[in-house]
């Protein structure tokens, strides 16, 4: 029932907050950007799109040394912050928040990718 509850709460959040599409993108920003990045990497390496691999952000964070618990808590915290932002920001603020999330996710992914690569060399 977890996914049903999350879907229900996302629907409630979209109704409560204005600009429904921006709200949905803001709440789902990390999963959407993560999937887009993984699809790009699979195209780049000529791998099938539906073939599983360890290029997703949560695997990158775990491979870089974070525990699974810390990764889940990080994602929960991000969802809480972005959900709160979706409630309280106006339309242009949501677009700015999406841009900040995109840049932040890119910086985090590059940092932990470099950190993970340094662990592999040891």
Q: Per-residue pLDDT tens for 4-57?
A: 677 777 677 667 765 666 777 777 777 877 888 888 888 888 989 888 888 888
Of the two residues 58 and 5, the one the predictor is more confident about is 58
Q: Are the CB atoms for 23 and 13 separated by under 8 Å?
A: yes
Closest by alpha carbon to 61, among 76, 42, 43, 75? 75
pLDDT tens for 81-118 read 877 877 787 777 877 877 887 787 778 777 766 766 65
pTM of the model: 0.62
- Sign for the CA dihedral angle at 30, 33, 36, 42 comes to negative
Q: Using CA atoms, how far apart are residues 2 and 8, in angstroms rounded to an integer?
A: 10
What's the mean pLDDT in 75-83? 81
Q: Are the CB atoms for 111 and 57 separated by under 8 Å?
A: no
Q: Are the CB atoms for 90 and 34 separated by under 8 Å?
A: no
Q: Using CA atoms, how far apart are residues 32 and 52, in angstroms rounded to an integer?
A: 17
Closest by alpha carbon to 24, among 74, 87, 66? 87
Q: Are the CB atoms for 66 and 122 separated by under 8 Å?
A: no
């Amino acid at each position: 029932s977890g996914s049903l509850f999350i879907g229900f709460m996302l629907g409630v959040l979209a109704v409560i907050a204005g600009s429904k599409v921006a709200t949905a993108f803001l709440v789902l920003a990390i999963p959407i950007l993560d999937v887009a990045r993984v699809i790009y990497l699979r195209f780049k390496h000529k791998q099938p799109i539906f073939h599983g691999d360890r290029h997703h952000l949560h695997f990158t964070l775990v491979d870089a040394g974070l525990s699974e618990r810390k990764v889940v808590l990080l994602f929960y915290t991000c969802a809480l912050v972005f959900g709160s932002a979706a409630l309280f920001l106006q339309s242009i603020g949501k677009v700015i928040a999406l841009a900040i999330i995109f840049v932040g996710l890119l910086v985090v992914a590059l940092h932990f990718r470099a950190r993970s690569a340094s662990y592999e060399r040891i």
